[in-house]
Structure 1
Amino acid sequence: MREQKLFIDGTWRAAAETTQVVDRWSGEPIGVVHRASAADAKDAVDAAEAALRRGFPVHQRAEVLERTAAYIAAHAEEFAAMITAEVGKPITASRTEVSRAVGTLGFAAEEARRLPSETVPMDATEGGVGMIGFTIAQPRGIVAAITPFNFPVNLVIHKIGPAIAAGCPVVLKPSDRTKLTAGLLTEAFEAAGIPAGYLNLVTGTPAEVVTTWQEDPRVAVVTFTGSSKVGWQLKAAAPQKMHVLELGSNTAMVVAADADVERAATDTITAALSNSGQACVSLQRVYVEAAAADQYLHLVAEKFAAVPTGDPNLDTTLVGPLVADAEVERISSWLEEATQRGAKILAGGTVEGSVLAPTLVADAAQVDRIVCEEVFGPVVSVVTVPDVDSAIAQVNDSKYGLNTAIYTASLATAMRYARDAQAGSVLVNVPPSFRADHMPYGGVKDSGQGREGVKYAVEEMTEQKLVVLKA
C-alpha cells in the first residue's frame, strides 16, 4: 500500500481527506491518496509565484530535466507497473510509454538551452537608424497542467517538461485515476533537485482544485488534455489566460484502391487497439475504396479475432480492461444503437469482465455515435466509398480534426489528401495513431487549439519581450 500525499513548495504534506486506489484488473487495494482542498490549491499557486520570483537559470533547468530522465529510466519497471495497476494498460504499452517519457524529457532539456530569440533590424525604417533591437524569451508565468488517465507519464511530461524548459512553475492536477503514477513522477523531479515551488502536485476534485486555479489571475497558462466539452469550459471560464487544449477526436483513415492493403490492415491493429483504443488519436473510422474493401475487411476481421486480450500484466496482451466499467457499458450501448440501424459487427463486440473484445463494424452511418462521437475504446467502423473524393468528404464531415491518414501508392492522391483533409496532422502510409514526441501535435475544430511537441509547447509557454537599445 502506497500513501500519496500532496507535494507543495518542495514538501510532502497531508490533506484532511483521503481516498483509496485499487488495482484496475485485480480490484485489490494498492494505495491511499490525499485529497486537496481549495486552500491547498491556493497554497500551490502561492508556492509557484514565489518560485517564479526567485527564478530558475536555464542551465539548471536543463540539468534537472536530464536528471529526471535518468531517474525514470532507472526506475522504468516501477513506473510501468504502476500505470498498469492504476488503469489496466497492457504492460508492454506501459513500458513503451515510460521509454517515450525519458526521450520527451531529453527534448525538453535541449529546448531549455535554445530558447527562441532573434535580432530585429531596427534600421529597416528611417526612425530606427542607430538602434539595436532583439527579443528575449520569458516565461509566461505559472502553468496549470490538467492531465488525463490514458498516458499518465508521457502526457504529463509533455506539459511539465516544456514548462520547466520555459522557466514556468507548474501546478499539476493529474487524472483521478492516475494519482499514484503522478506521485512517482513528482518523486523523480524531487530526486533530480527541482527547486521548491517549481512543481506542485495537487490531487483533488476539479470543483475545488481547477476552479481555484481558473479564478486565480496569477495562473497564466492552462494546458489541458481531455474531452472537448471540458476543454472549452475551461477556456470560457478564464478567457484571459493562455490555453493549450488537446481535446477529443474520432480519428479517420482512408484506404485507396491502389494501397498496399495488407500493410493498411496490419497498421489498423496498431492504430486502433494500442492502449485498448483509449487514445485521442486511436483509429475509429476507416473509409475504403470499393475495389479494396473486401480484402481489407477480411484481413482486419481475421487479425482482430487473433488479438490477445485480458490480463494487462501479461506481456502478450494487446487489449486489456477499459479504464472503468461505465466505459464498457457506454460503448456497448453505442454498438447496439448502430446495429439496430443496420450496422454489422464482423468481429468482436463481446464483453468479458471489463474487457471489450476488438470490434470491427461495417456499414455504420455517419450519424451513429460509434462514428461521429469519440469512442475511446477498441472499436473501428469501416465504410465503403466509391472514390477518394467521397472519402475526403466523409472524413471532413466531423466536428473533430486531430490526426488522419491515407494509404495510397499515388503521390498525387497523397498530396491532395494532405491539402484537403481537415486535421492537425496528415500521415501517408503511416498509422494515424503515430506521434513522435518532438513533432508539432494538436488539432483543429473541436480537437483543440495550440500545439504540443516539446519545442512548440515551449513557444506556447514563453512570450517574446522586445529590447531596443540606442547608444
Structure 2
Amino acid sequence: MNARDGTTNARKDSAGFRAEALRIDGERIRTERHLDVVNPYTGERVGTVGLATIEHVRRAYEVAQACVPTLSRYERAAILNRAAALLRERTEEASNLITAESGLSKRDSVYEIGRVADVLGFGATEALRDDGQVFSCDLTPHGKRRKVITMREPLLGVITAITPFNHPMNQVAHKVVPSVATNNRMVLKPSEKVPLSALYFADLLYEAGLPSGMLQVLTGDPREIADELLTNPSVDLITFTGGVSIGKYIAHKAGYRRIVLELGGNDPLIVMDDADLDKASDLAVQGSYKNSGQRCTAVKRMLVHEKVAHEFTERVVAKTRAWRYGDPMDATNEMGTVIDAAAAKLFEARVEEAVAQGARLLAGNKREGAMYSPTVLDRVRPEMTVVREETFGPVSPIITFKNIDEAIAISNGTAFGLSSGICTNRMDDATRFAKELNVGTVNLWQVPGYRIELTPFGGIKDSGLGYKEGVQEAMKSFCNGKTFTMPW
C-alpha cells in the first residue's frame, strides 16, 4: 500500500533494508515465516523480522530463567554507559532507522536518540546507588537494640516487556535499562509495527557487554504469541505500555503476577484568562504535533477560558498553518507521517464526525495515505468522540469553559487520568489544579508530556494502575524487597 496515494503496488526494498531475526540465547534465530516492516511515507520495505512460534517463546523463557546474572553494580553501570556512548556515536544511523520504520520526522527521531541515551545514563547512575535503608529498633519502650536493614534483589522469575510503536526505541529503553540495572532477566516483545529499532537497541547492549541470557527479543504476531508471553510459568512480572483494551486484557490474563501498565491518555492543556497567550499557544502546538501527536501525553484537548478563547484560537491556527510537515527524512520538516494509513483515516473520520455534530474545522484534516496534516477544531463539546476517546494523532480540539470549576470538571470528565498542562500565573488556581485534577502529573507552564527520563511517570483510571515508570521507579518495581535484622 503506497503511504501517500493509497494504491497497491509491489513493494520495493529500501536502500538500508534489514533482514532481521529473533534474539535468543545470543543467537540470531531465523524463522520460516517473516513480517514486513514498511516505511509509512514511501511504502518501501525497510526490513523483515521473524514471526516467532510458541516454541520460540518457550525457548526464550527457558534461556532467561536459566540465566543467573552476577554482574556487579560497577559492571552494570559500565555496560549501560558504554551503550550510551555507542548510541551517541551512531545518532544518525539510529535515528534514520526510527524514521524509516515509524514515519517520525528526523527532528523527532534525533531527539528520541538523545532521550534513549539519557535513559541509559540514568540507569547507569542508579545501578551504582544503593537505596537500602537502616532502621534502629530501640525507638519505643519495648524496642530492642537491633537494626533492620533493607535491600532490593532481582525477581526470581523473568520480566515480560511489551512495547508500543510511538517511541520505537525510547519505550524499549524504559523497559530494558531498569531490568539490566537491577540484574534481572527480560523477554522483550516490541511492537510488530516498529521492531527494527528494538533489535538495534538490543544489539547495542550486547556489543557493550550485556550477557545474552539477560535479554531475549521476540518479534511476531501478538495474536499467536501474546498469551504465552503473559502466562508462561517463568513470568514474574509483566510491564506493558500501550492501549487500554490490551492493558485490561493483560490484567485479566496475568493471574497471580505483578503487572505495570502504562496505558492511554486524554491530556488537557488548560489556559486560564490571565495566561500569556503567545506562550500558551506555543505549548499547545508543540504538545499537539511533536512526534506526530502520537504520545500518550500529547495535548489531546485544549481547555480555554471563554474570555481569551478567540485570541488563543487565532494564534493556534496561525502556528498550526506554519507547522511544516511532509517527507520525514527532510530535516526542515517538523512532522512526518502517523504510523499508518489506517490511523490517519481514523483521525479524519473523528474530525468529520465532530464537524457534523457542530464543531468548526479551522485548519487541516487533510490526508494522503499515512500523511495527516496538523488539524485545529473549535466549538468542540466534551461528549464528542474526538475528545471523549484518545485521538492519538496531530489533532487540536478546543473546548471553552467559564470558570476554574468548569475547567476541572471537564478535565476530570473522561476515563483517563495521565497528565496535564496548566497555563496560569495565579498561584491559587495552580494549587487548585495540582490538588483537584485526577491525573498522575500536573505541569505548570509546560506541556503535559514534560518530564525527564529519571522521574516518576504514570497515571490513574484508564491510564494505568498507578504504578510509575521512569528509570528510578521502574527499578524499584523490578525488584523484591527484603529486610535483614541483626543485634546491633
1:463 and 2:477 matched: no
Structural mapping, 1:279-428, within 5 Å: 279-428=295-444
1:238 and 2:249 matched: no
Per-residue Cα deviation, 1:53-76 (whole angstroms, up to 9, x for no partner): 343322211111111111111111
CA distance in 1, matches of 2:163, 2:69: 27
For the 8 Å contact 2:53–2:224, the answer to whether it is kept is yes
Q: Which residue of the partner structure matches residue 11 of structure 2?
A: none
Farther-moved stretch of structure 1 (253-262 vs 9-18): 9-18
- Given the alignment, which residue of 270, 288, 293 partners 1:254? 270
How much has 1:127 moved relative to structure 2?
Answer: 6.1
Which amino acid letter does the alignment assign opposite residue 330 of structure 1? L
| SS of corresponding position for 1:207 | helix
Q: Which residue of the partner structure matches residue 233 of structure 2?
A: 217
Which amino acid letter does the alignment assign opposite residue 443 of structure 2? L
Q: Which residue of the partner structure matches residue 123 of structure 1?
A: 138
CA distance in 2, matches of 1:349, 1:213: 39
CA distance in 2, matches of 1:149, 1:305: 27
Q: Which residue of the partner structure matches residue 31 of structure 2?
A: 15
Q: Which residue of the partner structure matches residue 443 of structure 1?
A: 459
Q: Which residue of the partner structure matches residue 49 of structure 1?
A: 65
For the 8 Å contact 1:246–1:447, the answer to whether it is kept is yes
Which amino acid letter does the alignment assign opposite residue 482 of structure 2? K
1:71 and 2:86 matched: yes
CA distance in 2, matches of 1:109, 1:383: 43
CA distance in 2, matches of 1:128, 1:64: 44
Per-residue Cα deviation, 1:329-362 (whole angstroms, up to 9, x for no partner): 1111111111111011111112233211111111
Q: Is there any run of 5+ residues in structure 2 with no aligned partner, and where?
A: 1-16
Which amino acid letter does the alignment assign opposite residue 472 of structure 2? K
Change (3 A) 1:93 1:125: same
TM-score in terms of structure 2 length? 0.94
Which amino acid letter does the alignment assign opposite residue 123 of structure 2? A
1:267 and 2:267 matched: no
How much has 1:19 moved relative to structure 2?
Answer: 2.0
1:163 and 2:176 matched: no
Change (3 A) 1:469 1:82: same
| SS of corresponding position for 2:399 | strand
For the 8 Å contact 1:117–1:464, the answer to whether it is kept is no
Which amino acid letter does the alignment assign opposite residue 448 of structure 2? P
Structural mapping, 1:184-199, within 5 Å: 184-199=200-215
For the 8 Å contact 1:271–1:434, the answer to whether it is kept is no
Which amino acid letter does the alignment assign opposite residue 312 of structure 1? P
Change (3 A) 1:54 1:190: closer
Per-residue Cα deviation, 1:211-247 (whole angstroms, up to 9, x for no partner): 1121123211111110011111101111321111110
Change (3 A) 1:269 1:84: same
Q: Which residue of the partner structure matches residue 74 of structure 2?
A: 59
How much has 1:260 moved relative to structure 2?
Answer: 0.4
TM-score in terms of structure 1 length? 0.97
Which amino acid letter does the alignment assign opposite residue 454 of structure 1? V
| SS of corresponding position for 1:252 | strand
Per-residue Cα deviation, 1:369-426 (whole angstroms, up to 9, x for no partner): 1111010111011111111211111000010011101101111111111111111000
| SS of corresponding position for 1:288 | strand
Which amino acid letter does the alignment assign opposite residue 134 of structure 2? T
Which amino acid letter does the alignment assign opposite residue 365 of structure 1? R
For the 8 Å contact 1:202–1:209, the answer to whether it is kept is no
Which amino acid letter does the alignment assign opposite residue 110 of structure 1? T
The percentage of counterpart residues that share the same residue type is 33
How much has 1:22 moved relative to structure 2?
Answer: 2.4
For the 8 Å contact 1:142–1:221, the answer to whether it is kept is yes
Per-residue Cα deviation, 1:117-164 (whole angstroms, up to 9, x for no partner): 111223335665243321111012421110011111111111111111
Per-residue Cα deviation, 1:149-200 (whole angstroms, up to 9, x for no partner): 1111111111111111111111000000111111111110110110121011
Which amino acid letter does the alignment assign opposite residue 113 of structure 2? V
Which amino acid letter does the alignment assign opposite residue 115 of structure 2? R
CA distance in 2, matches of 1:357, 1:136: 51
1:106 and 2:116 matched: no
- Given the alignment, which residue of 36, 60, 74 partners 2:52? 36
| SS of corresponding position for 1:371 | helix
Structural mapping, 1:79-90, within 5 Å: 79-90=94-105
Which amino acid letter does the alignment assign opposite residue 479 of structure 2? T
| SS of corresponding position for 2:336 | coil
- Given the alignment, which residue of 114, 128, 132 partners 2:147? 132
Farther-moved stretch of structure 1 (347-356 vs 124-133): 124-133
Please give the root-mean-square deviation of Cα atoms over the aligned residues, in Å. Answer: 1.4
For the 8 Å contact 2:40–2:370, the answer to whether it is kept is no
| SS of corresponding position for 1:102 | helix
How much has 1:81 moved relative to structure 2?
Answer: 0.3
Q: Is there any run of 5+ residues in structure 1 with no aligned partner, and where?
A: none
CA distance in 2, matches of 1:214, 1:349: 39
Which amino acid letter does the alignment assign opposite residue 113 of structure 1? L
For the 8 Å contact 1:115–1:166, the answer to whether it is kept is no
Which amino acid letter does the alignment assign opposite residue 89 of structure 1? L
For the 8 Å contact 1:272–1:284, the answer to whether it is kept is yes
CA distance in 1, matches of 2:41, 2:273: 42
| SS of corresponding position for 1:197 | helix
For the 8 Å contact 1:72–1:188, the answer to whether it is kept is yes
Which amino acid letter does the alignment assign opposite residue 164 of structure 1? V
Aligned length: 470
Q: Which residue of the partner structure matches residue 4 of structure 2?
A: none
